[in-house]
């Protein structure tokens, strides 16, 4: 997985950078294809926001999370991306299973 991390009104420290990379390894395990992620970390007064755009083959997924702490926002973001990727993978496998069942039914 290729991850691009940037900050908006916040300096992305090496600790934040490593934390994002570690958290985004979990969603990467669900998908066999190459993924690209753009993560933007921002601070607006007391709101810490983490948002990510994930490019998968055939679809672009977006998720964002807001929390009082940047690490909590990154945790929420990783959970949302994880759920989105699982849902996307299920759609792809269900679609392929439907085609296989239709093909085998028409041959017999």
Q: How many domains does the chain have?
A: 1
CATH number at residue 67: 3.30.160.100
* Residue 69 phi, psi (nearest 5): -130, 140
Residue 43: its pLDDT value, please? Answer: 95
pLDDT at 2 over 60: yes
* C-alpha span between 15 and 57 (Å, rounded): 30
Residue 108: its pLDDT value, please? Answer: 44
30-81 pLDDT, tens digit each? 667 778 899 999 999 889 999 999 988 778 999 999 999 999 999 999 999 9
9-31 pLDDT, tens digit each? 899 999 999 999 999 887 777 66
Tell me which residue range forms the domain holding 56: 2-107
DSSP category for residue 45: T
Residues 82, 14, 37, 63, CA torsion sign: positive
């Amino acid at each position: 997985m290729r991850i691009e991390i940037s900050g908006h009104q916040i300096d992305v420290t090496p600790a934040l950078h490593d934390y994002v990379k570690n958290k985004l390894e979990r969603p990467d395990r669900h998908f066999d294809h190459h993924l690209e992620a753009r993560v933007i970390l921002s601070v607006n007064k007391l709101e810490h926001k983490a948002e990510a755009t994930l490019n998968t083959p055939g679809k672009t997924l977006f998720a964002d999370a807001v929390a009082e702490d940047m690490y909590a926002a990154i945790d929420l973001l990783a959970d949302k991306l994880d759920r989105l990727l699982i849902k996307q993978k299920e759609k792809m496998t269900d679609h392929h299973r439907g085609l296989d069942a239709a093909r085998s039914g028409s041959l017999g």
